[in-house]
A and B are shown apart, each in its own frame.
Chain A
Amino acid sequence: MISYTWHFEVIWQYSRLFLAGTGVTIGLTIAVVILGLLIGLVAGLMQLARSPVLRWVSWAYIEMFRLTPLLVLLLWFYYALPMLTGIKIDALSASVITLSLYGGSFYAEVIRGGIVSIESGQTEAGLALGMTPARVMRRIVLPQAIKRMIPPLMNQSIIQFKNTSLVSVLAVPDLLYQGQVVAMDTYRALEVYTAIAAIYFVVLLPLTVIVKMAERRLAQSN
């Protein structure tokens, strides 16, 4: 180890692969964050529904995904689900579906928590004006709740960004998968995996700074 000579130039030689991998990772994150937020919003609102059936369905979904390892879920959706349904899905679709559902279960809890944190007097004031409950939610409660949800939602999205690295087991060509290809090609695992860790870090660093700033602004406005 002491006499190890670093050869980071291999990273440059394979820079196109790293770039392509980073692109896939970022694109995948954007897709699963957006889809996850939509799923989370629906599941979070269902948690607050009057119908016990809706509440139970969303509870079952949330706990099922929150309490199962993501790696197990990925393998299940890619290998087991097609056996069950007879419908074959490609690795990328399986990844997007699994990560979105997995992220959605965490987003749902954040969204539900944000909504119930708004004082009931706000809802009453909206209802008293003659607004329907749906309109009260859209005009009065959600705009206030979203402000409180943003920091935890961003934290969850940062975790989702890192979670995407697991799709490499399904041979989706993300950053980690491309890195593995390069490492096997060059026998330069140390340089390659160090570079990969650094890329994840560099992409996420500005995001964490934004979250910190958002949390500070929120603390002030309260």
Chain B
Amino acid sequence: MDNCKIEISALRKSFGALAVLRDINLKVEAGSVVALIGPSGSGKSTLLRCINLLVLPEGGRIRVGDDAFSFDGNAKLSSTREQARFRSNTGMVFQHFNLFPHMTVVQNVMEGPLSVKRMPKAKAEAVARKLLDKVGLSDKGDVYPNKLSGGQKQRVAIARALAMEPAVMLFDEVTSALDPELVGEVLNVIRDLAADGMTMIIVTHEIGFAREVADRVLFMRDGVIVEEGPAREVIDHPKEETTRVFLSHFHNRG
């Protein structure tokens, strides 16, 4: 499996006495899209946040591209500088956008290249404007985020993550905080990225979208991957009872 962009083995994490992730193993091939579904509290967001070290696992191993991190119980983790370098290789989009309110839209997108890659300002701005064009917001570059709708904010957040040219993109329930009529514009951008061959992991409650865009679907519950397989197979013909029960809540929406 040389073709894997993300490889996770024996990953463990608990918050106090609560085991949130128990022995997670996962491989994501280059250019493929994996959707993580499951009830809230199943550990899917924690898994996603472990992949870019926003949450530090207690055991196991994570590889993204050529960069690998091993974790074991008590060993002091690598320096914050190394963690930062590791994170710069993954793009993350959050449920609540987390745009920087003191910067204009284009400055938000430029921030990564400027401050992490030390790119000259003019070049960073050119990169940012191009990405804003890609997400359909070329006319919003010079406004502040508070002037945007939720869907526009989330598209800026995607552009901001893309500006670092990450090896993989991680989406953490990126449409959950949006009004229903704004979900489509964000999903369209993600759909375009999938078509471009971006490697992605998407935590989502949009089962229909997962079925359409993802190559594979993972169903998580209580910190373990209960079922995984090709998207249509898992969603249309789940093998496990828990998967079936979970998906039955969505049938009228599929």
The chain A residues found within 8 Å of chain B, CB to CB, are 119, 121-122, 124-133, 135, 139-140, 143-144, 147
Contacts of B140 in A (CB 8 A): none
Distance from B49 Cβ to chain A, minimum over Cβ atoms (Å): 8
Contacts of B101 in A (CB 8 A): 144
19 pairs across A/B with beta carbons < 8 Å? Answer: A121-B94, A121-B96, A124-B94, A124-B98, A125-B92, A125-B98, A125-B100, A126-B111, A127-B87, A128-B91, A129-B111, A129-B116, A129-B161, A129-B164, A130-B87, A131-B112, A131-B116, A139-B111, A143-B102
Docked pose: A57 CA to B46 CA in angstroms:
34
CB–CB B84/A140 < 8 A: no
CB–CB B87/A144 < 8 A: no
B211 contacts partner chain A, Cβ-Cβ < 8 Å: no
Docked pose: A143 CA to B115 CA in angstroms:
15
Docked pose: A139 CA to B115 CA in angstroms:
9
Distance from A51 Cβ to chain B, minimum over Cβ atoms (Å): 13
B80 contacts partner chain A, Cβ-Cβ < 8 Å: yes
* Most B Cβ at <10 Å: residue of A119, A122, A125, A147: A125
CB–CB B94/A132 < 8 A: no
Distance from B166 Cβ to chain A, minimum over Cβ atoms (Å): 9
Contacts of A131 in B (CB 8 A): 84, 112, 115-116
Q: Which residue of B lies closest to A122 (CB)?
A: B98
How many B residues face the partner with a CB closer than 8 A? 27
With A125-B94, A125-B100, A128-B52 known to touch, is A133 a contact of B80 (CB < 8 Å)?
Answer: yes
Given A125-B100, A127-B84, 9 additional A-B pairs, CB 8 A: A124-B98, A125-B92, A125-B94, A128-B52, A128-B54, A128-B92, A130-B85, A131-B112, A147-B102
Q: Which residue of A lies closest to B113 (CB)?
A: A129
Contacts of A139 in B (CB 8 A): 111, 115
Chain A interface secondary structure, helix, strand, loop or mixed?
Answer: helix
Docked pose: A129 CA to B112 CA in angstroms:
6
B98, B100, B164: the one contacting A130 at CB < 8 Å is B164
Distance from A146 Cβ to chain B, minimum over Cβ atoms (Å): 10
B44 contacts partner chain A, Cβ-Cβ < 8 Å: no
Contacts of A122 in B (CB 8 A): 98, 100
1/0 contact string of B87-111 vs chain A (CB within 8 Å):
1111110101011111000000001
Contacts of B84 in A (CB 8 A): 127, 130-133
Docked pose: A132 CA to B90 CA in angstroms:
15
Within 8 A of A (CB), among B148-189: 157, 160-161, 164
Contacts of B91 in A (CB 8 A): 128
Docked pose: A133 CA to B116 CA in angstroms:
12
1/0 contact string of B116-131 vs chain A (CB within 8 Å):
1000000000000000
CB–CB B54/A130 < 8 A: no
CB–CB A129/B94 < 8 A: no
Contacts of A132 in B (CB 8 A): 80-81, 84
Docked pose: A129 CA to B157 CA in angstroms:
11
CB–CB B85/A124 < 8 A: no
Contacts of B89 in A (CB 8 A): 130
Contacts of A133 in B (CB 8 A): 80, 84
